[in-house]
Chain A
């Protein structure tokens, strides 16, 4: 008989958290600190969702999504995790752009962008100032239909170079395009422009290990290798309500469920259409997921070194920026995340992670041979591209490997292998979920603005507040419980 990964768990929890992405982890921690009994379930053998890493022969540790986050992480990590974890957050100062329109080194903050936009791109200082200030003032509740592309045309008409500088890094950060609502660009770009790009020194493995220790200390029951198959509901008492989950074939009862799965997985697979109104199901089905990513992992042989060519290097041979070309199977646009020994002090190792935006459909429809061939091409092209900046790099690489949207689907179970959650409309479905099915909540990469490390952590807290309110009210009225228990 297979090992029972749920051995020893209790019959009933206040809240079951499905999935251990940064949103799920943070929610679990916040709710445990509020005094609730939390069970965290992860299907994979490792916590972290896309905030993850893997090790390979030769002593390589590859980080999947450590590349860079806004300074707001320091505050959020300190408040919702610990001062100790927050202390390891350090700035990455070498952000670099290399494309046919311009080459530029920047610290990726408002001050430096303003200087370069004025001096290098000859944009009037007054326009730059107005752009930044207006962006900061954008409000989620304004319901402004303007797209990012239209907004760029308003401030920087006839300046595809400026538009590329503004859009390209954000497209890699959250999969958004020029056709998405301007608010999605405004919020994410403003977060970065505040003080630049940051990373976690020690690597994703240390971060997740410290978070896991914190969760255990706060009493969260954590189980890996556990797949939630179904969210259980009852309609007794007239209102449809969550009563538990089925995981690895076993029923676990609970007062509420927080799904850190993709929102479409949550509504259409885990809960199921039968639990919602037809209108809500139609709206959930209509939610578009964002594009996905490929990555190429290059491990540098022990003892070899690389010159410092920047921390995040945005490169492309495309003559101008195009959201379509960026996700094309044969795109020449790549971001090199350069991991120098500073990433993991003491190890003295170098790795390169190449990120390439991609469409799931392009990769999912390949034959097994075609898939292998395309992966090999992706690796070869990435190394050739890197040779332009580090001519002798090929001989220093002793591990090379590629991941595709299919890899992401396999490890995260995200709908259509998305690496960036959903388009803007997904946020409304996520937020309306508890009104549709009492006790069911969602937090995870959704709506573009609630994505990335900072976005998902903060969204996890926003939703935790609602869950805490719900659980506190439920515990105060125990008779309401007996009707559903």
Chain B
């Protein structure tokens, strides 16, 4: 799992949560909230989808790591199981 792959997985989740948003031009370093119409419920959905799809648990104290695509990748990539 590279950080680029990880960003892609997060975008896949956002695409399902917010189907009306144009995700083609998201800037990885900018906060998602500043580029998309995402509210706190949407971030909760991201947390639930990460658990459902990838078995990753994001504790409440770490929600701030989900602010941008870049910070998501930084935080989540090490949590994916390395393929044997």
Residues of A with Cβ closer than 8 Å to B? 30, 34-35, 75-76, 79, 458, 461-462, 464-465, 468-469, 472-473
Contacts and interface: CB of A to CB of B under 8 A. Distances in A.
Interface in B42-62: 44-45, 47-48, 51-52, 55, 57
A14 to B, nearest CB: 14
A468 B48 contact: yes
A76 B41 contact: yes
Contact of B51 (A30, A79, A458, A469): A469
Contact of B57 (A34, A458, A469): A469
Contact of B44 (A34, A462, A473): A462
Contact of A465 (B17, B44, B55): B44
B14 to A, nearest CB: 12
B53 to A, nearest CB: 11
Interface in B27-72: 41, 44-45, 47-48, 51-52, 55, 57
- Closest 3 pairs between A and B when the two form their complex, measured CB to CB: A465-B48, A465-B44, A34-B52
B41 A465 contact: no
The secondary structure that dominates the A interface is helix
Interface of B: 17, 41, 44-45, 47-48, 51-52, 55, 57
A468 B51 contact: yes
Given A79-B17, A469-B57, A458 B41 contact: yes
B66 to A, nearest CB: 13
Contacts of A473: 57
12 contacts: A34-B48, A35-B52, A79-B17, A79-B41, A79-B45, A464-B48, A465-B48, A468-B51, A468-B52, A472-B51, A472-B57, A473-B57
Contacts of A30: 48
Nearest to A472: B51
B57 to A, nearest CB: 6
B47 A465 contact: yes
A84 to B, nearest CB: 14
A463 to B, nearest CB: 11
Contacts of B48: 30, 34, 464-465, 468
A75 B48 CA distance: 17
Residue of B17, B44, B48, B52 with most chain A CB atoms under a 10 A cut-off = B48
Contacts of B17: 79
A154 to B, nearest CB: 26
A396 B47 CA distance: 54
B45 to A, nearest CB: 6
A461 B41 contact: yes
Contacts of A461: 41, 44-45
A35 B51 CA distance: 12
Residue of A30, A464, A465, A473 with most chain B CB atoms under a 10 A cut-off = A465
Contacts of B47: 465
B42 to A, nearest CB: 8
Contacts of A35: 52
Given A79-B17, A465-B44, 20 more contacts: A30-B48, A34-B48, A35-B52, A75-B41, A76-B41, A79-B45, A462-B41, A462-B44, A464-B48, A465-B47, A465-B48, A468-B48, A468-B51, A468-B52, A469-B51, A469-B57, A472-B51, A472-B55, A472-B57, A473-B57
A79 B41 CA distance: 10
A77 to B, nearest CB: 12
Nearest to B57: A469
A464 B41 CA distance: 12
A79 B51 CA distance: 17
